[in-house]
Amino acid sequence: MPEKSSKNVAQNLKAEAEALFNKGIKISSVFNKLSVGLFMFKKNPDDKMKVAYTCQKCNHIFSGELDLEMPYTVKCEKCEVLIFKQEKTPKKGIKKLAKS
Ligand SMILES: [Zn+2]
């Protein structure tokens, strides 16, 4: 159960990715970090990353596309706290969306 804000942009983006996934559309990268309020994915390797997060520090809400380079890092555009940092090179293919 989401216990924070009703405007959970990360949840909404996850739902968007799941809808594509359920239609059988391939998604090249998925980062499911709902535990820190972030979800992001891109359909094609050359696409911009679709990113949605709620900053845990300043509650800034972001939803949009970012031109990220590997290794991916996402900082809050307002307070610049590090929200997501890619620890290792991603596995190829579709990851399961179910776990957070
Ligand atoms: Zn912030």
Domain range enclosing 54: 9-85
Q: Output the tens digit of pLDDT for each of the chain's 100 residues.
A: 444 444 699 999 999 999 999 999 999 999 999 999 999 999 999 999 999 999 999 999 999 999 999 899 999 999 999 999 998 765 665 566 655 5
Name the residues around ion ligand 1, CB cutoff 5 A: 55, 57-58, 60, 76, 78-79
- How many domains does the structure of the chain reveal? 1
Question: Does this model's pTM top 0.85?
Answer: no
Give the span between the Cα atoms of 77 and 16, in whole angstroms: 23
Q: Is residue 92 part of a domain?
A: no
Question: How is residue 70 written in tokens?
Answer: 């590997």
Q: Is residue 80 part of a domain?
A: yes
Q: Is residue 63 part of a domain?
A: yes
Q: Is residue 28 part of a domain?
A: yes
Compute the distance from residue 61 Cα to the ligand 1 centre, in Å: 8
CB 59 within 8 A of CB 7: no
